[in-house]
C-alpha cells in the first residue's frame, strides 16, 4: 500500500522573503523615482533593483502609477496620519506645538530621500496632471490642513493673533518646500547638509512664533 504523500512544508526563509518583497519594491521605486523622475523610471528597472522579475512586481502593483502612489503612502501619507494623532494629544502651548510640527516635518519627510517626491511633482506635474492632482490631495492638502489646525488651536486658546490662516499656511510652508527643492537640485544644495537645515527650521519657527504670539501667552 503506497504511503500517503506528506503535506508540503512551509519554508520559513521563503515566506519571510515574500513578506518583505513589497517593502523592497517600494524602497527600490523610491530611489529610482527620486534619481530619475517619474517618466524616466521603468518598472523593469525597479524590479531589477529589488532583485525580482518584472512579473513579480505586477503581483503587488498593477501599474507604475499605482506603484508611485504606494511609495507616497508609505513615505509621506503614513507620517501625516501619525502627526494628526500627535496634534490631537498635545497638551502644551501652541507655540511649542507649532515648532514641533515644523521639526517633525523636516525630520520625517523634508530631510529624507522621500522629499524628492515633492521636487519630482513640481518638475513633472505638467506631464502627469492627474498624478499631480492626486499628490496634491494625498499629501499637500492634508499637510496644510494639519498646520492650519495647529495655528487655529493657538488662536482659539488666545495664544496667537487672529490672521488669515489660508495665506499664513502657504507662507509658513514655502521655505520648507524651497529647501526640499534646493536639496534635490544638483549643484544647489551643498549648504543644506549637516545641521544647517534644522537650524533654519528653528529660526523659521522663531520668526513665526514672534509674529503670532499674543503678549503674555506661553
- Are 88 and 157 contained in the same domain? yes
Query: What CATH number has the domain bearing residue 44?
Result: 1.10.10.60
Domain total of the chain: 2
Instruction: Let me know if residue 217 belongs to a domain.
Output: no
Could you tell me the residue range of the domain that residue 179 belongs to? Answer: 63-212
Number of H helices, E strands in the chain: 11, 0
The Cα–Cα gap between 73 and 138 comes to 8
Whichever domain contains 131, its CATH number is 1.10.357.10
Residues 104 and 182 reside in one and the same domain: yes
Q: Does residue 192 share a domain with residue 97?
A: yes
Domain assignment of residue 3, yes or no: no
pLDDT at 16 over 80: no
The torsion defined by the Cα of 6, 7, 8 and 13, in degrees rounded to 10, comes to -110
At 100 the three-state DSSP class reads helix
Region 187-194: mean pLDDT is 66
Integer Cα distance of 168 and 173 in angstroms: 9
Verify that 46 and 92 share a domain, yes or no.
no
pTM of the shown model: 0.85
Q: Are residues 93 and 121 in the same domain?
A: yes
Residue 68 and residue 57 share a domain: no
Does the structure show a pLDDT above 80 at 11?
no
Q: What is the mean pLDDT of residues 58-87?
A: 94
Q: Is residue 49 part of a domain?
A: yes
- Closest Cα to residue 89, out of 155, 149, 176? 149
**Cell matching residue 21:** 518583497
Are 122 and 47 within one domain? no
Residue with cell 509658513: 172
Within this chain, do residues 51 and 74 fall inside the same structural domain, yes or no? no
Do 48 and 108 share a structural domain?
no
Is residue 200 packed enough to be buried (19+ CB in 10 Å), middle (13-18) or exposed (0-12)?
middle
pLDDT above 90 for 215: yes
Q: DSSP readout, 104-118?
A: HHIIIIITSGGGHHH
Q: What is the 3-state secondary structure (H, E, C) of 120-181?
A: HHHHHCCCCHHHHHHHHHHHHHHHHHHHHHHHHHHHHCCCECCCCHHHHHHHHHHHHHHHHH
Same domain flag for 53 and 80: no
Task: Report the distance separating Cα 171 and Cα 166, nearest Å.
Answer: 9
φ, ψ for residue 160, nearest 5 deg: -120, 150
Q: Which is more confident, 6 or 178?
A: 178
Q: Which of 74, 60, 146 is nearest to 114 (CA)?
A: 74
φ and ψ of 6, to 5 deg = -70, 140
Evaluate whether residue 50 is within a structural domain: yes
Residues 83 and 191 in one domain: yes
Classify 7 as helix, strand or coil: coil
- On whether both 75 and 36 belong to a single domain, the answer is no
Q: Per-residue pLDDT tens for 36-47?
A: 999 999 999 999
Mean per-residue pLDDT over the chain, rounded: 89
How far apart (Å, rounded) are the C-alpha atoms in residues 202 and 27?
30
Amino acid at each position: 500500500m503506497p504511503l500517503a504523500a506528506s503535506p508540503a512544508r512551509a519554508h520559513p526563509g521563503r515566506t519571510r522573503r515574500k513578506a518583505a518583497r513589497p517593502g523592497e519594491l517600494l524602497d527600490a521605486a523610491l530611489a529610482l523615482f527620486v534619481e530619475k523622475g517619474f517618466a524616466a523610471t521603468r518598472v523593469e528597472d525597479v524590479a531589477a533593483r529589488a532583485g525580482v522579475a518584472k512579473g513579480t512586481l505586477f503581483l503587488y502593483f498593477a501599474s507604475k502609477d499605482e506603484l508611485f502612489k504606494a511609495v507616497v503612502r508609505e513615505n509621506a501619507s503614513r507620517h501625516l496620519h501619525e502627526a494628526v494623532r500627535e496634534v490631537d494629544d498635545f497638551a502644551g502651548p501652541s507655540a511649542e506645538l507649532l515648532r514641533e510640527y515644523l521639526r517633525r516635518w523636516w525630520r520625517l519627510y523634508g530631510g529624507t530621500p522621500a522629499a524628492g517626491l515633492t521636487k519630482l511633482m513640481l518638475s513633472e506635474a505638467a506631464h502627469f496632471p492627474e498624478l499631480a492632482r492626486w499628490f496634491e490631495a494625498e499629501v499637500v492638502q492634508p499637510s496644510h490642513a494639519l498646520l492650519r489646525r495647529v495655528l487655529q488651536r493657538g488662536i482659539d486658546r488666545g495664544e496667537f493673533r487672529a490672521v488669515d490662516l489660508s495665506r499664513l499656511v502657504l507662507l509658513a510652508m514655502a521655505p520648507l518646500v524651497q529647501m526640499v527643492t534646493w536639496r534635490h537640485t544638483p549643484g544647489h544644495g551643498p549648504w543644506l547638509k549637516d545641521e544647517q537645515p534644522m537650524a533654519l527650521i528653528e529660526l523659521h519657527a522663531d520668526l513665526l512664533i514672534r509674529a503670532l504670539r499674543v503678549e503674555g501667552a506661553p
